Amino acid sequence: MAAPVPHVAIVGAGFGGLRAAQALRQAPVRVTLVDRRNYHLFQPLLYQVATAGLGPEDIAHPVRAIFRRQQNFEFRLAEVTGLDLARRTLRTTTGELGFDFLILAPGGTSSFFGLDTVEANGLPLKDIEDAVAIRNQVLRMFETGVQEPDPDRRRAMLTFVVVGGGPTGVECAGALSELIRLVLTKDFRGLNVKDVRVILLEASDRLLAAMPAKLGEATAEILWSKHVEVRFGASVSRFDGARVSLQGGEVIPARTLVWAAGVQASSLVAGLGERGPQGRVRVEETLELPGHPCVYVIGDAAWLPDADGTPLPMMAPVAEQQARCAAANIVRSVRGEPQRPFRYRNRGTMATIGRNAAVAHVGGFAFAGFFAWVAWLVLHIVLLIGFRNRLVVLINWAYDYFLYDRAVRLIHAREIHTGPAEARRPAREASAAGAG
């Protein structure tokens, strides 16, 4: 009789979890992917949902549709509530799930560095609901701002502070300024554009720290030309919903603060071993958890120092390359072959700063401007999952580009409740979840 087929459980349907499951397509294993969402989210375009350029449906794709043809694949919509590595069992909101191999790809969550007032009143940007909340807030501030007679209160409503000079903060600030200056000024005829401010706060003295310094400088210049006030050495200490307080005493009256400054590993990996920067858990070079040879951690939750000691960035390409490595190591394990260490190949990084402008660092070359922007567009269209999503995003982008418009300026006025009976339990509980 043949040995039973080994069971691989994968937690998280982000870039890492998705690629791991795909890489095991032909492997002699059964795969179960667990996530609290039924869709894969294309996070690099999340800021476009926040700034009304795309709808939530354009950048998400149902997991089941992606794996329709993969025979050894199963999906379970559930939240992982605990791990029992000794018993090789996951505890989930829909019961236990045993495994022979485990790939943990739970991703990261926003980190507020203990700034409780910012966590309470600021808007993070990590998932679809965050993005829609930002879109709602920006559009509502314009609707109430035009009706506000007091000039100081009105200016505070029309001041938008983005915190964090990484890719998310830069892209969000650029897109926000364009939304306002190219679109909303046409919609709100009574509006004085001089009342509007978009401010990007960065604690260090450079933007896009992962890129060469000259691209950070170019980015600041482009943002400035788009009327984004770029402020360096600016650390937020407090935000009460009406005023942003900086260390050093400066106070900026603003009703909106978008938090793009911190990410930390999912709490799912909290008790699993040595923790590194951003709460990531230390993994072996083979991506296994030390002492647990069949448990792999990949992506934002994993801490693997580079050759020069710096942790790998929290980016989709790292997660995807680690996914392929972990999947290959599982196959080697099944076959009784030795594991191989992970090596990251940096194929380049890019960020877009709005219409006609982006920066890219590819193969040792650093370039900024229109050509980088076109490359960014093409790459992101190609990487989107699903032909329909690509087509619809392409139409939306072309439309916005030529008509200086934005697609989806809808304010969801009422909270979206999720259904009757059990579905009306408190949301975090009712939602079943793997990725953090």
Record the tokens describing residue 125, joined without a space: 């940007």
Q: Mention every residue, 6+ apart, whose C-beta is less than 8 A from residue 253.
A: 152, 155, 156, 159, 242, 243, 244
Q: Using DSSP, state whether 402 is helix, strand or coil.
A: helix
Name the token pair of 265: 């590993």
Interface positions, 144-183, toward a copy of itself (CB under 8 A): 144, 147
Nearer to a copy of itself by Cβ, of 57 and 221: the residue is 57
Decide whether 147 or 225 has the Cβ nearer to a copy of itself: 147
Binds a copy of itself (CB under 8 A): choice among 34, 77, 105, 211: 77
Binding flag, residue 64, a copy of itself (CB under 8 A): yes
**Catalytic (active site) residue 171:** yes
Q: Pick the binder of a copy of itself from 32, 109, 121, 219 (CB under 8 A).
A: 121
Q: Is 332 in the site for a copy of itself (CB under 8 A)?
A: no
238 touching a copy of itself, by CB under 8 A = no
Phi first, then psi: give them for residue 124, nearest 5 degrees: -75, 170
Pick from 123, 158, 208, 298 the residue near a copy of itself by CB under 8 A: 123
- Interface stretch with a copy of itself, choices 34-42, 98-106, 167-175, 227-235 (CB under 8 A): 34-42
CA distance 352 to 253: 28
Q: Are 224 and 198 in contact (CB under 8 A)?
A: no
Stretch that binds a copy of itself, among 55-63, 100-108, 194-202, 221-229 (CB under 8 A): 55-63
- Quote the CA–CA distance of 355 and 347 in Å, as a whole number: 24
Catalytic entry in 79, 171, 288, 320? 171
Question: How near is the Cβ of 179 to a copy of itself at its closest, in Å?
Answer: 12
Tokens of 113: 């560095």
Give the nearer residue to a copy of itself in terms of CB position, either 249 or 420.
420
Task: List C-alpha distances in Å: 33 to 315, 320, 422.
Answer: 21, 15, 24
Out of 22, 25, 38, 229, the only residue in the binding site for a copy of itself (CB under 8 A) is 38
Q: Is 338 helix (H, G, I), strand (E, B) or coil?
A: coil
Which residues are known to be catalytic?
171
